[in-house]
């Protein structure tokens, strides 16, 4: 079985070694007998057809690089929405998943239009960053997850969070984290999240394979 993976903005959105998520997932798929083809797209690309891929990934970056990537990705938001609607497996980690919402209110007072796949909004502040180790549960996994969060934003109006936090720093006021709709997963957890949580990696690998059958 041939599996095509798309890694978005691997040159910009790789703040915490997030390429490790793609490397581990590729290995997991190969161990299950798949032939994996990895493609990369970045801001110099003028064409992206998300329908070509079985898995779409984007990692974490600085706030400025996230905004730079967002401005490019807006050109292809209809294609990305079609891939989401079709049930393609999609994972955005770190602050990249903030691009998927309605708006981002930046720390310097700008309002950025998001990709509008979902209705949530993001508000940044520069007074302090929220950082710390967490543990979390997902309703589709038996194993508890671990990871690290480092962000300067608050996300509001998420109707289907990905994780429920079971351990967090006292400075974290939120009890849930990320977004999960259809086969799209968005999480602020870095580490990288699939490397630290093999059960989550295996779940996505099985999801990709089952979608392909």
Q: Look at residue 173 in the predicted model and tell me its pLDDT.
A: 87
**CB-neighbour burial class of residue 35 (10 A; exposed 0-12, middle 13-18, buried 19+):** exposed
For strands 121-124 and 153-156, give the pairing: antiparallel
Its pTM stands at 0.96
Print pLDDT tens along the chain (213 aa): 999 999 999 998 998 889 999 999 999 999 999 999 999 999 999 999 999 999 999 999 988 999 999 999 999 999 999 999 999 999 999 999 999 999 999 988 899 999 999 999 999 887 678 899 999 999 999 999 999 998 888 899 999 999 999 999 988 888 999 999 999 999 999 989 999 999 999 999 999 999 988
Could you count the other beta carbons within 10 Å of the beta carbon of residue 212? Answer: 14
Q: Which CATH class is domain 2-212?
A: alpha beta
**Cα 79 from chain centroid?**
17
Q: Residue 20 and residue 62: Cα distance in Å, rounded?
A: 18
Q: Residue 206 and residue 210: Cα distance in Å, rounded?
A: 6
């Amino acid at each position: 079985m041939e599996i095509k993976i798309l890694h978005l903005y691997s040159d910009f959105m790789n703040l915490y070694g997030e390429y490790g998520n793609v490397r581990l997932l590729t290995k997991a798929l190969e161990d299950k007998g798949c032939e994996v083809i990895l493609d990369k797209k970045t801001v110099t690309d003028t064409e992206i057809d998300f329908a070509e891929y079985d898995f779409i990934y984007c990692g974490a970056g600085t706030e400025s690089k996230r905004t730079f990537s967002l401005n490019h990705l807006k050109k292809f938001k209809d294609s990305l929405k079609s891939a989401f609607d079709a049930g393609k497996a999609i994972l955005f980690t770190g602050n990249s998943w903030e691009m998927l919402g309605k708006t981002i209110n930046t720390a310097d007072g700008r309002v950025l239009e998001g990709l509008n796949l979902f209705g949530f909004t993001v508000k940044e502040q520069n007074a302090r960053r929220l950082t710390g180790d967490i543990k979390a549960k997902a309703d589709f996994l038996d194993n508890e997850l671990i990871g690290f969060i480092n962000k300067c934003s608050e996300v509001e109006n998420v109707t289907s969070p990905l994780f429920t936090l079971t351990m967090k720093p006292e400075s974290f006021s939120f009890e849930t984290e990320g977004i999960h709709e259809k086969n799209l997963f968005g999480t602020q957890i870095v580490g990288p999240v699939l490397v630290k949580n093999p059960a989550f990696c295996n779940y996505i690998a099985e999801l990709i394979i089952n979608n392909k059958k």
